A and B are shown apart, each in its own frame.
Chain A
Amino acid sequence: MVTPGKKVKTFTIDGKDVSGTEDQTVIEVCRENNIEIPTLCHLDGLTEVGACRLCLVEIKGSNKLLPACVTKVAEGMEVLTASDRLKNYRIKILELFFSERNHICSVCVSNGICELQNLGQKLGMTHVHYPYLFPKVNVDASHERFVLDHNRCILCTRCVRVCDEIEGAHTWDIMGRGIESMVITDLNKPWGDSDSCTSCGKCIAVCPTGALVEKYKNAVDKTSKYKKDKLKFLPYLTTMREVKNEQS
């Protein structure tokens, strides 16, 4: 949305003329113009980390691929979002995600509403040609209402960010590095023993896969109040906060 007082930039995305304000990112303008860009770590209302690398776009004149979620628009820039090169990279990145942990869709509670699975479908990933790594990772079911299954985690850190930035609890964080990285609660305490967790369920709602789910409920189950409208509630919170800031 163009806001008064902000400089407007005009440029092209996939040859289409578009405009945006100077503080907008490429992905925002793409969404306004119904240009689909795949992403797993970006979520409206949370800070950007640029980690999943699925939203990489080509910008004419730059030999580097840039993540659309953090790249600010500029006058006259020519953005390509769906070149063959990008499509090829995206499928391979998805394959790397699938090869990393034990994503067994058929037995996953998020089967059918999983963003990773959906992207695989949408981007035309027929199979994972990289060898699966089959790591032995745990399931933390110590929380009264929720389950963390590391087998499905893609380390997008949406849970970490929503807990810190929206709920303000900062229960989640990342431990270890490289392929050993893990999301943890508190200082790697079992989730059920966490002192900081407020059991608000925001992490469940934002998780793109079946890594964070509500107990005894299939995620597609209509009785689950989570995993629905995840793209709506965060912007709502952000807007409310901005309104409050303006008033004070």
Chain B
Amino acid sequence: MIIEELIEYAEKLNLREKKGKHEIKVCSAAGCLSLKSEAVTEELRKKIAELGLEEECSIKPVGCLGLCSKGPLVTIDKDNKVYQEVKAEQASEIIEKLKIEPEKESDHFFTRQQKIVLENSGQVDPEKIQDYILRDGYKALHEVLELTPQEVIDEITLSGLRGRGGAGYPTGLKWSTVAKTGKVKKYVICNADEGDPGAFMDRSVLEGDPHRVLEGMAIAAYAVGADEGYIYCRAEYPLAIKRLKNAIKQAERAGVMGKNIFGTTFTFTVDLRIGAGAFVCGEETALIASIEGKRGQPRPRPPYPAEVGLWGSPTLINNVETYANIAPIIRNGGEWYSAIGTEKSKGTKVFALAGKIQNTGLIEVPMGISLREVIFDIGGGIPDGKKFKAVQTGGPSGGCIPEQFLDNPIDYESLSKLGSIMGSGGMIIMDETSCMVDVAKYFLDFTKDESCGKCVPCRVGTVQLYNILDRISKGEGTMEDLYELEDLCDLVKNTSLCGLGQAAPNPVLSTLQYFRDEYVAHIIDKKCPAGVCKIHEHAGKKKSEVME
């Protein structure tokens, strides 16, 4: 099969549906669905039928449009404007818009972004492969099959793409390591076990544009010499799972997945594995153990999965967003990609804005953009005139960055210099009403519950850390506790077996570094400056004193 045939196939599928001159796109991602976007679709459909406008316009459910806090979102192709907080009653109003000349879009939220990973999100119907194919889908895979695997890896290396799961390992290097293991059985795995609190980047990609991930995986499989792949998706994403299953089926039917892809000898099948609610399974060795049907626990590395992975075979494991970047890199060339971003961090990054911010939602920005631009220009700043306090990046493995570093660029190196990490892209914004001791306690509560229990520094150390933080937050801490916190953080960080434990102290260390005064206020003044922690008025006093 050649690419033209594939497009023909897509067009044929497309013809089966009635299409109007205009398209009204209604967001059907999880956020908008929960805000009842389906009712809007229904009403629109009804109104169109009532007005007899079937020839004029049709409706298309699409993936995430980004501005989740303002959902349900609707966009029409005429003015390319995103209508926010749309109610079912507004259906006719929107249909009216199709008749008048469009105004110009000027919302920073949309204009400041640069979309590569999310280029199709909000444009294609995630449940229809033809939509994806007609927007250059599977073109990259077709191109790749005419290259040698080494040429593919060279292109990825040239792009400078780094792993989007958090650690930022150079993708090209990882691929070439797996490729070099010789002619043996190999696997590619897509890590879709997104578990950081406040992170929903991968979810939106899977829900809004699942074929992009499949195409990326297939290209990777070709490059490293694998013929089998697994997507490990957390069970908490039922919509993503449904759409992935659907996408795999469609791709197999279209001949872009399965045996003899595009009529070549290249074979690649993908299977889906559902997580069982353990955060640690986002760690690659634990994830592999889980796919193998074992208890999801990490093992010491080396050997890395690139050498000894799934069922002992060399395994390439990348994150959803990493795979989502592959097709555009192949289509436009590695050089194109490497022109975006900073010297060491190339391309764009998807972030999930959450917490005390005006525009909660999903954004994609070039690397190197400042935190201030993301939070204030795109994010719209802090609601209710409150003062910004800190931004937490990287989830439970990351740290809190205070105001004085807002103008720092977002890239792997500069974030880690600030004691945080890029992470998978969760960004939680905190204002003056957030207590940093409470934030640290929240994350330790999370990590202690999610520790797998295999190694003692993480299993017991996180509990001891949590207990100290709990004591401080209740006004029962001492200044020695601060020393003990730092000492124990050092132990857990340096002696834990896997990344979960090694990174668990980061929220504590970074808040201690930048907000030590808040800890001291809890201990000495017995006060929570933000008014979050409930400190008993007799905290720290002897029982006898209280009785008097």
B425 to chain A, nearest CB (A): 25
A244: Cβ under 8 A from any B Cβ: no
* Contact B456 A96, beta carbon cutoff 8 Å: yes
What CA separation (Å) do A179 and B445 show in the bound complex?
12
* Contact B464 A51, beta carbon cutoff 8 Å: no
Q: Choose among B462, B464, B467, B491 the residue that contacts A178 (Cβ–Cβ < 8 A).
A: B462
Interface members, chain B 280-317 (any A CB < 8 Å): 280, 295, 299-300, 302
> Interface 1/0s, chain A 48-79, versus B by CB < 8 A?
11111100100000001101001010000000
Q: A131-B467, A155-B459, A179-B448 are in contact. Are A50 and B300 (CB under 8 A)?
A: yes
A97: Cβ under 8 A from any B Cβ: yes
Chain A residues with CB below 8 A from B185, complex form: none
Q: Is the interface of B mostly helix, strand, loop or mixed?
A: helix
Chain A residues with CB below 8 A from B302, complex form: 72
B451: Cβ under 8 A from any A Cβ: yes
B431: Cβ under 8 A from any A Cβ: no
* Contact A53 B453, beta carbon cutoff 8 Å: no
* Contact B457 A133, beta carbon cutoff 8 Å: no
Closest residue to B447 on the A side, CB-wise? A178
A100: Cβ under 8 A from any B Cβ: yes
Q: Choose among B463, B488, B494, B495 the residue that contacts A179 (Cβ–Cβ < 8 A).
A: B463
* Contact A53 B457, beta carbon cutoff 8 Å: yes
Chain A's interface size range is 20 to 34
Chain B residues with CB below 8 A from A56, complex form: 495
* Contact B455 A178, beta carbon cutoff 8 Å: no
> Interface 1/0s, chain B 496-532, versus A by CB < 8 A?
1100000000000000000000000000000000000
A137: Cβ under 8 A from any B Cβ: no
* Contact A179 B460, beta carbon cutoff 8 Å: yes
B454: Cβ under 8 A from any A Cβ: yes
Closest residue to B300 on the A side, CB-wise? A50
A123: Cβ under 8 A from any B Cβ: no
Chain B's interface size range is 20 to 34
A166: Cβ under 8 A from any B Cβ: no
B278: Cβ under 8 A from any A Cβ: yes
* Contact A93 B453, beta carbon cutoff 8 Å: no
A41 to chain B, nearest CB (A): 9
B452: Cβ under 8 A from any A Cβ: yes
A151: Cβ under 8 A from any B Cβ: no
* Contact B459 A181, beta carbon cutoff 8 Å: yes
B210: Cβ under 8 A from any A Cβ: no
- Best-surrounded residue of A65, A93, A179 (most CB of chain B within 10 A): A179
Q: A70-B300, A133-B463 are in contact. Are A51 and B451 (CB under 8 A)?
A: no
What CA separation (Å) do A93 and B456 show in the bound complex?
7
Chain B residues with CB below 8 A from A89, complex form: 491, 494-495
Interface members, chain A 80-111 (any B CB < 8 Å): 89, 92-93, 96-97, 99-100
B461: Cβ under 8 A from any A Cβ: yes
B449: Cβ under 8 A from any A Cβ: yes
A124: Cβ under 8 A from any B Cβ: no
What CA separation (Å) do A67 and B494 show in the bound complex?
12
What CA separation (Å) do A96 and B460 show in the bound complex?
6
B373: Cβ under 8 A from any A Cβ: no
A35: Cβ under 8 A from any B Cβ: no
Q: A93-B491, A155-B453, A177-B452 are in contact. Are A50 and B299 (CB under 8 A)?
A: yes
The 5 A-B pairs at the shortest CB distance, nearest first, are namely: A181-B453, A50-B300, A178-B451, A96-B460, A100-B460
26 A-B interface contacts by CB (under 8 A): A49-B454, A50-B299, A52-B455, A52-B456, A56-B495, A89-B495, A96-B461, A96-B464, A99-B464, A130-B488, A131-B464, A131-B467, A133-B460, A155-B459, A173-B295, A174-B295, A174-B453, A177-B452, A177-B453, A178-B448, A178-B449, A178-B451, A178-B459, A178-B462, A181-B453, A181-B459
Mark A residues whose CB is within 8 Å of B. Answer: 48-53, 56, 64-65, 67, 70, 72, 89, 92-93, 96-97, 99-100, 130-131, 133, 154-155, 173-174, 176-181
